[in-house]
Homo-oligomer: A and B are copies of this chain.
Amino acid sequence: MISIHNEPQPTDLGDVRVANRAVVLRHVRLHAPCSRADIAAATGLNKATVSSLVTELLDRRLVRETGLTGNRVGRPATMLVLDGAPYAALGLQIGADDLVVVAVDPGGNRLLTWRRAFPAPTVSPADTVRALVTLARRAIGRVTGQGRTVLGLTVGVPGLVDTAGGVPLASGLGWRDVPLAADLRAALRETGFTVTVDTDANLAVLAEQRHGAYAGATDLVHVTGGLSVGAGVLAGGRLLRGGRGHAGELGHLCLDPAGPPCPCGRRGCLAASTALPAVVARLLPDATRDGPVTDYLPELDRIVASARQEEPAVLAGLAEIGRQLGHGASVLANLLNPEAIVVGGHFATLAPWLLPTARAELVARTLAPQAGGCRLDASTLDSAATALGGATAALATIEAGRLPAG
C-alpha cells in the first residue's frame, strides 16, 4: 500500500510543538486521568517536552490537575484531565422541520441541545439566517454566562456548500446561491470566534467519528435522511471534500432511468424515492391532503405505528425503500470501500424495517465479497448529529494543537 503525499511542507520546531501539543491533548482526552509520565511513556515524547507542553495547556486551562494518585509503583504522580470549564464550541443544523443547536466543551461533553420547530422549506433564506442567529445568540448567552469562551460555531446545511461557506444549491430548502457564512457573520457581528458553514452530512460524519458506534474509524460514511439525502465521507481519516467542496452528493444518484420523477427534474434519483418527503408521500398518501407537510415528526410516528401493526402496504413500501437505500449504499461501498455506512435521520428511525432489505441489496450489488467488509447500520446518535458534528468541527483548531487566543 502506497501513500503519496502530494505536497511535502517544510517543517520547523513551531510545527513540531503544535503537532506534539495535539498528541498530548489527545492522550489526555482518551486516557484521563493520566500523569505526565504516562503521557511520555505512551507517546514516546520525552518527559521534559511533555512537562513543557502540559504547563502551557494548564496555563490556557485546556487541562487541569486532579490530585495525586498513589496507586502505582514509585512516588505518587499528579494526574491530569481535560479542563472543559473555560470553553465551549457550538454547532447548528437546519433540519426538515426544526433548527437545532448543540454546545460542547473541549472534552466533547454536551453542554446543551436545544431544538425549535422551524418549517425551513417554507421560510426564506434571510428569515432562516435570522432564526439561526437568534438561536445561536441564546446559546452563546448561556455558555458565556457559565464563564466560557466560545471557540467557534459551525452551521450544517442540507445542500451543496462551497469553499467560502456559500450555498449554491439546497434543493430541499429551495435555496440557490445563498452566501450563508457571510450573512451569518454579518448578523452575528464581531464575534471573536470563527463562523463556518458545512454540509449536514460532513458534520454528521465528524460526529460519528467522535461519538458514534464507529468512533475512531478512518473510512466511514454517514448518509443523512431528511429533506435530502447526502453522504459525509471520511477517507483515510480525513473528510473527503473534492475540488470545490461538493463531494458527497448522493441524493441524485440515478437508480433507474425509468424511475419516478424527482423535483430536481431528473428521473429515478435516490432522493425521489427515499428522502423524507418521498417516504411520507408514499406511505401516508393522505398526509399532504391539506397542503405540504411542515412537521414531519408526527408523520414518522404514524409510519412507525403502522409498521409495528404490520400493515402490509407499509411493510412492503418500507422494504422497497430499503432496497433503494441499499442500492445507494452499494455505490458508496464500490467506490469508497468504507468500514461502515451509518444512516441517520428518518433512515435511523425506520431502520428496523429498512435495513434487512438494504443490507441484502448492498451485498448483492457490491463487487467485493461481503460488501468489501462494509457494515450498514443505523446511527446511534440522536437527530442532532449534524449540530453535534458542527460543535465538534469548531473544536478542530484546538485539537490540532493550536492554542486559543488570549
Listed in ascending order, the chain A residues whose CB lies under 8 Å from chain B are 1-13, 15-16, 19-20, 22-23, 26, 43-45, 154, 160, 163, 168-169, 171, 196, 198, 202, 206, 209, 216-219, 231, 233-258, 264, 266, 327, 331-332, 334-339, 364-369, 372-374, 393, 396, 399-401
Contact of A238 (CB < 8 Å), options: B3, B247, B368: B3
Q: Is the CB of A19 within 8 A of B8?
A: yes
Q: Is the CB of A249 within 8 A of B334?
A: yes
With A254-B365, A335-B231, A365-B266 in contact, do A8 and B246 touch (Cβ < 8 Å)? no
With A3-B396, A5-B237 in contact, do A243 and B338 touch (Cβ < 8 Å)? yes
Pick 24 A–B contacts, CB within 8 A, sort by A: A1-B245, A2-B206, A2-B393, A3-B396, A4-B396, A9-B23, A10-B20, A10-B45, A12-B44, A13-B16, A168-B368, A169-B367, A235-B242, A242-B336, A243-B338, A246-B368, A246-B372, A247-B335, A249-B366, A253-B331, A254-B327, A264-B367, A266-B364, A332-B335
Q: Is the CB of B3 within 8 A of A168?
A: no
With A256-B256, A365-B266 in contact, do A11 and B19 touch (Cβ < 8 Å)? yes
Give the 3 A-B residue pairs with the shortest CB-CB distance, closest first: A242-B337, A6-B237, A8-B22
CA distance A396 to B4 in the complex (A): 6
CA distance A237 to B2 in the complex (A): 13
CA distance A256 to B399 in the complex (A): 45
How far in angstroms is the closest Cβ of chain B from A1? 6
Q: Is the CB of B5 within 8 A of A238?
A: yes
**Which single residue of chain B is at the shortest CB-CB distance from A42?**
B10
Q: Is the CB of B372 within 8 A of A337?
A: no
CA distance A236 to B335 in the complex (A): 16
CA distance A366 to B198 in the complex (A): 19
Q: Which residues of B contact A393 (CB under 8 A)?
A: 2, 4
**Which single residue of chain B is at the shortest CB-CB distance from A364?**
B266
Q: Is the CB of B242 within 8 A of A372?
A: yes
How far in angstroms is the closest Cβ of chain B from A212? 14
- Determine which residue in A10, A234, A249 has the highest number of CB atoms from chain B within 10 A of its CB, and name it: A10
Q: Which residues of B contact A219 (CB under 8 A)?
A: 242-243
CA distance A242 to B202 in the complex (A): 17
**Which single residue of chain B is at the shortest CB-CB distance from A43?**
B10
**Which single residue of chain B is at the shortest CB-CB distance from A390?**
B2
How far in angstroms is the closest Cβ of chain B from A125? 18
Q: Is the CB of A9 within 8 A of B19?
A: yes
